[in-house]
Chain A
Amino acid sequence: MRSAERHFSALPGFRFTLGYTMFYLGVIVVIPMAALALKALELSPGEFFRLVSTPRAIAALQLTFGASFVAAFVNAVFGTLLAWVLVRYEFPGRRWVDALVDFPFALPTAVAGLTLASLFAENGWLGRFLVPLGFHGAFTRAGVVIALTFVGLPFMVRTLQPMLENFERDVEEAAAILGASRLRTFLTIIAPTLLPGVLTGFTLAFARAVGEYGSIVFISGNLPFRTEIAPFLVVIRLEEYDYNGATAIAVVLLVVSFLILAGINKLQLWANRFNR
């Protein structure tokens, strides 16, 4: 009976809504994607390789992936801690911090870059303490990491929170009753269960960081070979009407994003292996 129900539905409007959905996706998503693919296919492999391996392109790609990795790692440590604290402990203001976790997601990236740059500048609220200590947060590679950490934070915390909420606390009690110490319980029971979530959050934050543009423009200074990220180089190439150069770098970014997403799907299947 169930299977018959699923194959047929008496509700009207299927053809119309599906048709419209496909038409709209075709115009807004598929055709522009096809334009990029077409442009990429016009490049010979040799040419493509030459365009993405210019010293400037390599430096930009290295910075993008390197800084994204470091930022995702910072989030994996502190984001996990924040998620843990928000789920497991009750303290004054907890709900407000919890609500504010989505702030980087809601804030336009341009504003994020602007305010972070000014915070870490020499006369900024944080810069005035950090710069004398030798930490330059604005117009440096560190600034790129700071901005990417900011935009990646919600992905980490929001991935982990539901997992921590659903974590069965009886297991911890059981471990404690069996005589395990708090640290041992954490390492043997909690950490392995959280690992897939941390990895998923890490990957999501990384994927977001690879494509990030708006916030970096403000905080990095965009110096070629020093603080120039790959998306910025795409914009430069476009402004030079070098469509081929822009396309080649864009394809690298896009392919990496898709690989990451495919990886996340695999990761989630693996993470759920005990639940089925």
Chain B
Amino acid sequence: MTKRFGDTIAVNDLSFAVNEGELVALLGPSGGGKTTVLRLIAGLETPTSGDIFIRGHRVNDLPVQKRNIGFVFQSYALFKNMTVYRNIAFGLRVKKWKRRAARERVEELMQLFGLEQLGHRYPHQLSGGQRQRVAIARALAPKPDVLLLDEPFGAVDAKIRQELREWLVRLHHQFNVTTLFVTHDQEEAMEVASRIGILNCGRLEQVGSPQEVYEQPANEFVARFIGVMNVIELEVRNGMACLDQIAFPAPGYKDGDKVRVGFRPYNVRVSPSTDEYRCQAVIRHTYFLGIMMRLDLELPSGARVCARLTKEDYKRLGLATGMRVSFQIAEHKILGAAQNSNAHTAAGSGCTHGER
């Protein structure tokens, strides 16, 4: 199955394929064109140029009704004037299913989704989580070729969201329907999807398994968006990229070039003894994040680096805010040459969060 898009204002020259039965997440900041991609596939928007294929057939000229897709809207868009039962049955009714077959299908879905008791309720009498389940059941009822979900967990509160994620994975196993879902929450994408496409400003930055995009980000945007990433700017001297005591080999760069380097906070090793590692810093802030601790380190030049370690390690090492420490960077990635003068300020801020 191939889907190709031309460029609308929101989606720029995007091309990717989702395999039969796969669960793929489109991840990106809000306004990145994710929803537009879904709407293009569904036929709710027309691409300016490019083609969309479902199961090998070009569907550009097929109207929405004929594409056989299931779409779950961010706001669910349940029919307010219909009961839960009639919402789920709607797609079957308009597709002229036999009365009995339709009833069996709806009852099967209601049972699977734990909605048996709610058949006679109206959408406004349901909780957020229940509404979401009705929306997915309604989309799945006519046995679509593709299921499209737009921020499926966006309107549900944080506690239920975790349950729903696990539920979505189980559901996908059970129905094995090709699923594409859109989210701005990187954690959610990592946890649920078998592959992730990262979308920024209408461009697809990278497609890969959660592990791939996390460990081998294609560029700085992906690196910063997936997880937390330190990005610092170093100057090349004698073939080494240097900042204070930090030095990395920088093959292919001339002396005097500025290079941007990224590394994950958990790859920063910190020691209370100032001579255990080569790099020197002062702990400026300590943040408590549950079982993890986050440290903000200030380098002699004023640059900031973020480190992450477990609470046990923190206690064992006897670290505290204001302490002079030494550190080393276990693993890093050269992101490329610094392009503009703003880059230094960006590097100065060090820690960038992928989360909202």
Contacts and interface: CB of A to CB of B under 8 A. Distances in A.
Interface residues of A, number: 6
Interface in A1-47: 1, 3-5, 8, 10
Contacts of B43: 10
A10 B64 contact: yes
A11 to B, nearest CB: 9
Given A1-B35, A1-B36, A8 B45 contact: yes
A5 to B, nearest CB: 8
Interface string B325-350: 00000000000000000000000000
Contacts of B46: 8
Interface in B22-51: 31, 33, 35-36, 39, 43-46
A4 B32 CA distance: 13
A4 B64 contact: no
Contacts of A5: 39, 45
B8 interface: yes
A5 B75 CA distance: 15
Nearest to B32: A1
Interface in B7-22: 8-10
A4 B8 CA distance: 8
A270 B21 CA distance: 58
Nearest to A4: B10
A10 B38 CA distance: 13
B222 to A, nearest CB: 21
Contacts of B64: 10
A10 B44 CA distance: 5
A10 B45 CA distance: 6
B31 A1 contact: yes
Contacts of A1: 10, 31, 33, 35-36
B36 A4 contact: yes
What is the interface of chain B mostly: helix, strand, loop, or mixed?
loop
Interface string B284-306: 00000000000000000000000
A4 B9 CA distance: 7
Contacts of A4: 8-10, 36, 45
Contacts of A3: 9
A5 B63 CA distance: 17
A8 B9 CA distance: 12
A4 B39 CA distance: 11
A8 B45 CA distance: 7
A105 to B, nearest CB: 30
Contacts of B10: 1, 4
Contacts of A8: 45-46
Contacts of B44: 10
Nearest to B40: A4
A4 B33 CA distance: 10
A3 B8 CA distance: 11
A1 B64 CA distance: 19
Contacts of B9: 3-4
20 contacts: A1-B10, A1-B31, A1-B33, A1-B35, A1-B36, A3-B9, A4-B8, A4-B9, A4-B10, A4-B36, A4-B45, A5-B39, A5-B45, A8-B45, A8-B46, A10-B43, A10-B44, A10-B45, A10-B63, A10-B64
The list of the 10 closest CB pairs from A to B, nearest first, reads A10-B44, A4-B10, A1-B35, A1-B10, A10-B64, A1-B36, A8-B45, A4-B36, A4-B8, A4-B9
Interface of B: 8-10, 31, 33, 35-36, 39, 43-46, 63-64
Given A1-B33, A3-B9, 4 more contacts: A4-B9, A4-B36, A4-B45, A5-B45
